Amino acid sequence: MKRIMLFIMTNIAIMVVLSITLRLLGVDSILAENGSDLNIQALVILSGVIGFGGAFISLLMSKWMAKRMTGAVVITDPSTNVEKWLVSTVTKQAKIVGIKMPEVAIFPSSAMNAFATGASKNNSLMAVSQGLLDNMAQGEIEAVVGHEMSHIANGDMVTLTLIQGVVNTFVVFLSRVVGHIVDRVILKNNQGHGIGYFVTVIVTQVVLSILASTIVMYFSRKREFIADTGGADLAGHQNMINALKRLGQVEPEALPEQMAAFGINDKGGIMALFSSHPPIEARIAALEERALRQS
């Protein structure tokens, strides 16, 4: 509930600060002098609604989307020893980190992967691939589960949604300001929005969205280091390190784009700036250094 209130208050704060900043900078006056009839306040509100609204709806639908995109099957009645052990492990870790028991699922993939998602830490889903269960030792699986449980306990789904909402708001706002300037000031169109406006908005929004994604991915990489330490605390440093080493030995199969930031590993991108996860080597080094400090 606190994070939902933070979500709402952040939305309002962003719109207020953006509106005041533009007024102090005299942006609306400058546009008016150049024949622009852009209503800054209305655009700020629209941008906030679109930017945060889309991110919030995605968060609410995250469990439903995750199950359908990955084919994850929730374990409602454990029928095998592996399923019983997995549910027992999640139950134990949920009590330790202080959250309600998440839904536990297995998704059909030969690759070693896992993810966590959900609208809140008490309404979440934790899923592992069949490949991870087949190819990792029990202690390593426990560490991966601990990593994902740490994501849930730390509220990373809501945190990244907040960040995504902020950047979305600025992308929507700036793309429409640029489009309006091109349409009214450069193309001298004074009757509605012409083709110049729509083309400029689309191009600008695509470019800004690509740049903005680097901000979201930066915070995602930071959260991965924190989740690694959570997995180490729940299952032991060596188990977490061994799990990461095993993941580093194979080419990971990427989760669907919407889920990549909440997995244990992904393919990343051509450039590190666009990767949701830090390099495996950096994560292992951070855990080894932490283990030494605590020994």
Alpha helix segments (H runs only) across the chain = 2-24, 27-33, 40-60, 62-70, 81-97, 130-135, 138-153, 156-181, 195-235, 237-248, 280-294
Q: 117 in the Ramachandran plot: left (φ > 0), alpha (ψ -120 to 50) or beta?
A: beta
198 three-state secondary structure: helix
Q: In sequence order, which residues have a C-beta less than 8 Å from that of residue 92 and are 6 or more positions away? A: none
Neighbouring C-beta atoms of residue 207, cutoff 10 Å: 13
Residue 224 annotated among the catalytic residues of the structure? no
Catalytic: which of 103, 148, 253, 257?
148
Neighbouring C-beta atoms of residue 28, cutoff 10 Å: 16
Q: Hey, which residues does 287 pair with through a beta bridge?
A: none
Rounded Cα gap, residues 138 and 131, in angstroms: 13
Rounded Cα gap, residues 129 and 120, in angstroms: 22
Q: Which residues are part of the catalytic machinery?
A: 148
